[in-house]
């Protein structure tokens, strides 16, 4: 069975990807730098279910330090494909720390690509973001839309730059690539700074929910198992096809307004939300809305989880997690 390198393996999506690939029979090599954006213990907990798996190995690596750091950590590991999830995430923090985002997401990705070129690894699944669409007025968002001036945050710009880099390496070095634009992924292990996780904690504590803007902004919320299924399908596609360069949306094709999301979370938690309206945050887009027809045609991607079911699963996980922490 092929060997897959997963960068960002201790993160929210990365840990689920590792579990899925191991369940599918792959050998998985995980990389993470335990960026202090949130607590290291949470990331270690993310890996708890598979850290001792006989087909999993782990290396702590800083990609932005150079291709040499990868060469030192992985001198001889056989790698057939890379799933590149490692990145500094979040729109708001990128507005406050743009250089850190470019160093991690652009320079770090370039170092990874150079290491792959030097090692002769020719398959890459790259995690991009719906943020690259910015406030593009035409909806739903299609992968062939022109985006050079669409980005409205450093995070979005760093992800679009990553796509440009993968295009360059495909052209110059015949790298097979799938760029996947993720749309507001949620579910168990979600980062504690993200809205759904934060809102559930606030409701359980009896505190008001901050609403940035008038509550009509909307996101295409996608349950993590559906996103991971798209990634696993992309891995299989890359391993069985050559001369690949594709960009796909991994979303849910169903935008939900912020006010509707808060009401749905309130229902899942069993609490009536108290709202506290605040100004819009810099860099936030109005709507994300994925056209997923290309991913369906290419990979058979078809999200299965409704928002109500996904929120119920997240709330159950959060309650269990909070009980252990207490």
Average of pLDDT values for 197-209? 96
Q: Which of 252, 257, 258 is nearest to 291 (CA)?
A: 252
Rg of the chain taking only CA atoms, in angstroms: 19
What percent of the chain has pLDDT above 90? 88
Q: Are 131 and 163 in contact (CB under 8 A)?
A: no
Each residue of 37-81: pLDDT tens digit? 888 999 999 999 999 999 999 999 999 888 888 888 888 888 999
pLDDT at 325 over 60: no
Q: List b or e across 54-88, with b for residues whose CB sees 16 or more CB atoms inside 10 angstroms.
A: eebbbbebbbbebbebbeebbeeeebbbbbbbbbb
Distance of alpha carbon 101 from alpha carbon 158, whole angstroms: 7
Query: What's residue 47's pLDDT?
Result: 98
Phi-psi region at 225: left, alpha or beta (left = phi > 0; alpha = psi -120 to 50): alpha
Computed over every residue of the chain, the mean pLDDT equals: 95
Beta bridge partners of 4: 28, 81
Each residue of 90-113: pLDDT tens digit? 899 999 999 999 999 999 999 999
325 or 157, greater pLDDT: 157
**Which residues are tagged catalytic?**
155
Query: What's residue 321's pLDDT?
Result: 83
Query: What's residue 281's pLDDT?
Result: 87
Query: What's residue 326's pLDDT?
Result: 43
Task: Write the CB contacts of 134 (distance below 8 Å, at least 6 apart in sequence).
Answer: 147, 150, 151, 152, 156, 285
pTM of the model: 0.96
What's the pLDDT band for 324 if we cut at 50, 70, 90? low
Average of pLDDT values for 18-30? 98
Q: Are 6 and 18 in contact (CB under 8 A)?
A: yes
- Domains in the chain, please, with CATH? 3-183+224-250+290-303 (3.40.50.720)
Distance of alpha carbon 193 from alpha carbon 287, whole angstroms: 20
Query: What's residue 323's pLDDT?
Result: 59
Q: What are the distances in angstroms from CA 282 to CA 93, 101, 219?
A: 10, 16, 16
38 or 119, greater pLDDT: 119
Query: What's residue 65's pLDDT?
Result: 85
Each residue of 270-286: pLDDT tens digit? 999 999 999 988 888 99
């Amino acid at each position: 069975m092929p060997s897959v390198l997963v960068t960002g393996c201790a993160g929210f999506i990365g840990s689920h990807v590792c579990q899925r690939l191991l369940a599918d029979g792959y050998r998985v090599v995980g990389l993470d730098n335990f960026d202090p954006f949130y607590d290291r213990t949470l990331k270690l907990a993310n890996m708890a279910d598979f850290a001792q798996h006989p087909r999993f190995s782990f290396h702590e690596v800083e990609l932005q330090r150079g291709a040499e750091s990868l060469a030192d950590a992985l001198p001889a590991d056989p790698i057939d494909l890379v799933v590149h999830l490692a990145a500094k995430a979040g729109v708001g923090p990128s507005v406050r720390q743009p250089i850190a985002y470019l160093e991690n997401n652009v320079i770090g990705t370039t170092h990874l690509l150079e290491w792959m070129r030097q090692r002769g690894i020719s398959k890459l699944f790259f995690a991009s973001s719906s943020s690259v669409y910015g406030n593009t007025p035409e909806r739903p968002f299609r992968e062939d839309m022109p985006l050079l001036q669409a980005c409205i945050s450093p995070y979005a710009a760093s992800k679009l730059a990553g796509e440009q880099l993968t295009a360059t390496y495909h052209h110059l070095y015949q790298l097979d690539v799938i760029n996947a634009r993720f749309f507001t992924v949620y579910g168990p292990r979600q980062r504690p700074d993200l809205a759904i996780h934060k809102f559930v904690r606030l409701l359980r504590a009896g505190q008001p929910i901050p609403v940035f803007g008038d509550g009509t902004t909307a996101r295409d919320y996608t349950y993590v198992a559906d996103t991971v299924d798209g990634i696993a399908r992309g891995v299989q596609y890359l391993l069985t096809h050559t001369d690949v360069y594709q960009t796909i949306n991994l979303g849910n094709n169903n935008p939900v307004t912020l006010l509707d999301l808060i009401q749905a979370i309130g229902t899942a938690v069993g609490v009536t939300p108290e709202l506290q309206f605040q100004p819009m945050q810099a860099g936030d887009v109005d709507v994300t809305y994925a056209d997923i027809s290309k991913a369906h045609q290419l990979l058979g991607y078809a999200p299965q989880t409704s928002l109500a079911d996904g929120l119920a699963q997240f709330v159950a996980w959060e309650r269990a997690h909070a009980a252990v922490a207490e």
